[in-house]
Amino acid sequence: MRVNHALSTAVLALATALAAPAWAQNESTAPQDTTSNDVQDIVVTAQFRETRLQDTPIAITAVNAAMLEARGQTDITQVAAQAPNVSLRPQPQNGGTGLIAFIRGVGQTDFNYALDPGVGVYIDDVYIPTLSSSLLELIDLERVEILRGPQGTLAGKNSIGGAIKLFTAKPKGDNSGSLQVGYGSYNSLNVRGMADFAITENLAMRVSGLSRSSDGYVAMLDYGQTHPNSNVKGNNSRGNGNADYQSMGGQNITAVRAALRWTGSKVEVNLSGDYTREHSEPVPVVVIAAGAPSANFNPRSTGQSRDAVGTPLLVGKDGNPIPLDCRFVPAGPYSCDTGANLQGYDPRFVSYSNFMDAMAPSAQAPFKPYFSLPITQFTGWGVQGDITFDLNDNLNVVYIGSYRKYESKFGQDQDGTPVPIAQLDNQLNHHAFTSEIRLNFKAGDGLLEGTVGGFYLDQKGIYTARVDLNYVGPTIDFLHGPDTTPSETKAVFGTVTLHPIEGASITGGIRYTKDKKDYTYYRSNPDGTIPNPALCFANPAGGSIVAYPNCILAGIYGITGSFKGDRWDWRIVGDYRFSEQFLAYASVSTGFKGGGVNPRPFVADQRLPFNPETLTTYEVGFKADLFDRRVRLNGAAFLNKYEDIVLGKTICPESSLPSPCLRPNNIGSADVKGFELEATIRPADGFTLDGSISVLDFKYTSPTTGTPAVLVGSQIPASGITPYTPELSYSVGAQYDYQTDIGLFSIRFDGSYQGELYSNAENTIWSKIDSRFIGNGQVSFTDADKAWKFTFEVKNMFDKYYFLSKSDVTSPGNLGVVTGVPGLPRTWMASVRRNF
């Protein structure tokens, strides 16, 4: 659709809303009775102090615990679906347990520690520094805040697109508790529980936990057994006679958390610890198209069948190599899969992956066969605490500290077929220590308030992998790592708000950040030997470099690339409350995403650094409560000046080996314009409507070359847009609560629309993900004593077939496949909750 048309429609809707009479009572004295028609307040801490959402001059989506429960939202990606210009989704199979996060077109897809995320994730104000631990279960939360736009002064580095803040429920010592059990589609079993109790008069404890398991929804079928008349041998997998020996997408997750809270007359201390364990199946991937890699990929072509020295990748029954082609695409317009016995499985949810390379060993690839592990595993734990000390009525000190550690393992069959084009096993180990101190102050009898403080982050990531790439000429099959990535961040910050006249505020903020990061590379053969540059490039075996394994990686062992930098960020915002019902604001703010080093050099001189991305945002917005607080409208319009965008280079003329090359570099600049509107309406007793709409226009302003135009130094189209960024998205929600003598009956519907988007920066046609609308619904009954709650919910109630992500690796010298992660089909769950 045309962005300008959508933007005009949204502006017209806004103008119509603001033209309505603004009769409302004073928000500060509005009752918090959930049975009233008032839209209720949510208190947020986006500016280091507690303020009502409607008094905070930042574009924020805030969701409290009651709203999460009413919507049946159990992970952060579901919350994001109802926030404008926010795109969150789980990593595909090559990312393991993690998150792809974009806000207003700014984010990151790569899990590698060399690249920082573009959206900051926080739990109780503790920064979670990596994508690989950011797919967070919503366990015992008080609220979620999604801040849009750069939070460079308030949140620090890597919140250039925005920040996602999760706040857990604090212990109350009220001897309350709950237990919820649910069962549903794919043998899903969910158990959640909480207990809150007093230890002493001043000390309370809260323990919460969840266990979630389900079967997979994508079948991994043995192609030879399901196609007995084909040339592919049966039992050509781990199945050992079972054609459907395993599935993808099954999950088994356990998480627990314990928190202590001690309160005194001037001091509050909070201490918590958490543990998460996941032993799940691989992330589900299906093949959408397959053929020969080329600039104009033909999904009916015949792809690779041998490696660079002629060794067959997969030998057929007749002794001939079997090529990668459309026979291994189970469904869709690019499939030629015939004669299959899929044993009742929906072909749209079938994969012929086997995570196996059974090639015969050769002099150039002597480490065959190789079997990667079809797993997604994660073990992580952390401890964190905060201390608040009130020095007097106008001054207090807050300290926040944490230590977190995790290990993540995941296997990958990148081609998704029995033909072993690319297989990998990955392991990520990470630990991080954070420390932050804040001094909050007030002065002049409310004239001035603010915060000054400092922040420190020390982290180290280790990435180890077995990488088996038969599509590269020559084939490489090597041990990646353990690559170490220690980094350190130091920052000081301050923000001050002045209230010069009643209803008006002016806020200024500044932060100075200093970063350093090292990346040390290790590339070796799977048997532990190191490719010898002198031997490899002497070409003693008939003048052929491919006579020895992994020669292309020779010399990349024990060498380090480094990045150092510093950055000033600032923010200024003015807001004015024109009436008790209407607040408007205007702001200018900056942010940055940390620099780093190329994590995937093919030769030593490709280990080059890249600089931080930077963003300056100009924003105007409003927050309105209308019609006796029955209608809430919050809106914002913004212009982003996005500079030094880090994009991938595939040709590196600055290197001794210009190609192949996969180097992140500061290539692009862009202007990003957008508009966002959120609404909550309570038109009648017990009836609530809510929704949001966002429009985004992304235009590169970098120098271009060629026809069609691409950004200089890249293959990025000048007309492109960043990954996972739709031009239009919206959400709608409706809930009706009916109170009776025996209890409360509720029914709710939530729907979200995502416009078409691309999964890569090149915006290739094969990376396009079509637009879709997903609807969810639930009905529930809560008894009059609020002791029991029964819920029945349906997700994807219209049974839409869609993709969460896609991978296009069809370009010359690549795999020749298009794969995708399908979303779950229609599912149901029935649950019962007992409150104590």
Contacts of 49 by beta carbon, 8 Å cutoff, 6+ apart: 440, 449, 451
Confidence of residue 384 (pLDDT cuts 50, 70, 90): very high
Q: What is the CA radius of gyration of the chain?
A: 28
Separation between Cα atoms, residue 761 and residue 647, nearest integer Å: 7
Q: Does the N-terminal peptide bond of residue 369 adopt cis geometry, omega within 30 degrees of 0? A: yes
> Residue 34: pLDDT above 50?
no
> Residue 309: pLDDT above 90?
no
> Residue 736: pLDDT above 50?
yes
Confidence of residue 308 (pLDDT cuts 50, 70, 90): confident
pLDDT on residue 238:
59
Separation between Cα atoms, residue 238 and residue 101, nearest integer Å: 35
> Residue 779: pLDDT above 90?
yes
> Residue 606: pLDDT above 90?
no
For the segment 463-484, the average pLDDT, to the nearest whole number, is 91
pLDDT on residue 13:
37
Cα angle value 181/185/189 (rounded, 5°): 30
Looking only at the bridges linking them, the beta strands covering 176-184 and 188-198 are: antiparallel
pLDDT on residue 237:
52
Pairs from 769-775 (Cβ < 8 Å, separation ≥ 24): 769/802, 769/803, 769/805, 769/806, 769/820, 770/802, 770/803, 771/726, 772/800, 772/802, 773/798, 773/800, 774/81, 774/798, 774/800, 774/802, 774/823, 775/749, 775/750, 775/751
Instruction: Decide which of 707 and 305 is more confident.
Output: 305
**Burial per residue of 566-589, b for 16 or more beta-carbon CB atoms within 10 angstroms, e otherwise:** ebebbbebbbebeebbbbbbebeb
pLDDT on residue 21:
32
pLDDT tens digits for 781-835? 999 999 999 999 999 999 999 999 999 998 888 899 999 999 999 999 999 999 9
pLDDT on residue 26:
32
Torsion region of 308: left, alpha or beta (phi above 0 gives left; psi -120 to 50 gives alpha): alpha
pLDDT > 70: percent of the chain: 92
pLDDT on residue 32:
36
For the segment 369-373, the average pLDDT, to the nearest whole number, is 94
Q: Are 810 and 818 in contact (CB under 8 A)?
A: yes
Question: Sign of the CA dihedral 231, 287, 94, 215?
Answer: negative
Confidence of residue 10 (pLDDT cuts 50, 70, 90): very low
Confidence of residue 134 (pLDDT cuts 50, 70, 90): low
pLDDT tens digits for 512-536? 999 999 999 999 999 999 987 776 6
Separation between Cα atoms, residue 665 and residue 609, nearest integer Å: 8
> Residue 213: pLDDT above 80?
yes
Which single residue is written with the structure tokens 């196996």? 356
Q: Which of 138, 135, 128, 125 is nearest to 158 (CA)?
A: 128
Kindly tell me the burial class for residue 782, based on how many C-beta atoms sit within 10 Å of its own C-beta (0-12, 13-18, 19 or more).
Answer: buried
> Residue 23: pLDDT above 60?
no
Q: Which of 757, 682, 692 is nearest to 726 (CA)?
A: 757
Q: Are 801 and 348 in contact (CB under 8 A)?
A: yes
Give how far Cα 207 sits from Cα of 165, 272, 788, Å. 21, 10, 20
Separation between Cα atoms, residue 106 and residue 80, nearest integer Å: 15
pLDDT tens digits for 539-549? 444 444 455 78
Q: How far apart are the first and last CA of the chain?
A: 51
Question: Sign of the CA dihedral 274, 250, 283, 418?
Answer: positive
Looking only at the bridges linking them, the beta strands covering 162-168 and 119-123 are: parallel
Confidence of residue 5 (pLDDT cuts 50, 70, 90): very low
Question: Sign of the CA dihedral 697, 701, 706, 710?
Answer: negative
Q: Are 524 and 478 in contact (CB under 8 A)?
A: yes
Looking only at the bridges linking them, the beta strands covering 203-214 and 188-198 are: antiparallel
Give how far Cα 88 sits from Cα of 311, 348, 723, Å. 42, 24, 12
pLDDT tens digits for 427-446? 999 999 999 999 999 999 88
pLDDT > 90: percent of the chain: 68
Q: Which of 485, 509, 511 is nearest to 566 (CA)?
A: 511
pLDDT on residue 241:
67
pLDDT on residue 24:
31
For the segment 401-422, the average pLDDT, to the nearest whole number, is 95
The two tokens of residue 75 are 């992970």
For the segment 596-621, the average pLDDT, to the nearest whole number, is 89
Instruction: Decide which of 134 and 700 is more confident.
Output: 700
Separation between Cα atoms, residue 510 and residue 494, nearest integer Å: 6
Kindly tell me the burial class for residue 151, based on how many C-beta atoms sit within 10 Å of its own C-beta (0-12, 13-18, 19 or more).
Answer: buried
> Residue 672: pLDDT above 60?
yes
**Least confident span in 457-461, 699-703, 726-730, 829-833:** 699-703
Confidence of residue 135 (pLDDT cuts 50, 70, 90): low
> Residue 125: pLDDT above 90?
yes
Confidence of residue 331 (pLDDT cuts 50, 70, 90): very high
pLDDT on residue 664:
87
For the segment 250-277, the average pLDDT, to the nearest whole number, is 96
**Least confident span in 160-164, 452-456, 552-556, 784-788:** 552-556
Contacts of 455 by beta carbon, 8 Å cutoff, 6+ apart: 156, 434, 435, 436, 489, 490, 491, 492, 493
Separation between Cα atoms, residue 545 and residue 536, nearest integer Å: 6
Contacts of 9 by beta carbon, 8 Å cutoff, 6+ apart: none
> Residue 90: pLDDT above 80?
yes
Q: Which of 601, 573, 607, 610 is nearest to 588 (CA)?
A: 573
pTM across the whole model: 0.91
The two tokens of residue 680 are 């909550």
Which single residue is written with the structure tokens 């010898």? 532
Q: Which of 808, 738, 754, 748 is nearest to 776 (CA)?
A: 748
Residue 95, SS3 per DSSP: helix
What's the mean per-residue pLDDT of the chain?
A: 89
Residue 604 DSSP symbol: G
Q: Helices (H), strands (E): how many in the chain?
A: 5, 46
Which single residue is written with the structure tokens 């202007």? 671
> Residue 12: pLDDT above 70?
no
The alpha helices in 466-567, defined as continuous H runs, are 533-538
Confidence of residue 596 (pLDDT cuts 50, 70, 90): confident
Q: Which of 635, 685, 688 is nearest to 71 (CA)?
A: 688
pLDDT on residue 98:
83
For the segment 566-581, the average pLDDT, to the nearest whole number, is 95
pLDDT on residue 156:
72
Give how far Cα 817 sits from Cα of 203, 361, 471, 604, 807, Å. 58, 24, 11, 29, 8
> Residue 112: pLDDT above 70?
yes
pLDDT on residue 240:
62
**Least confident span in 267-271, 601-605, 768-772:** 601-605
> Residue 28: pLDDT above 50?
no
Kindly tell me the burial class for residue 805, based on how many C-beta atoms sit within 10 Å of its own C-beta (0-12, 13-18, 19 or more).
Answer: buried
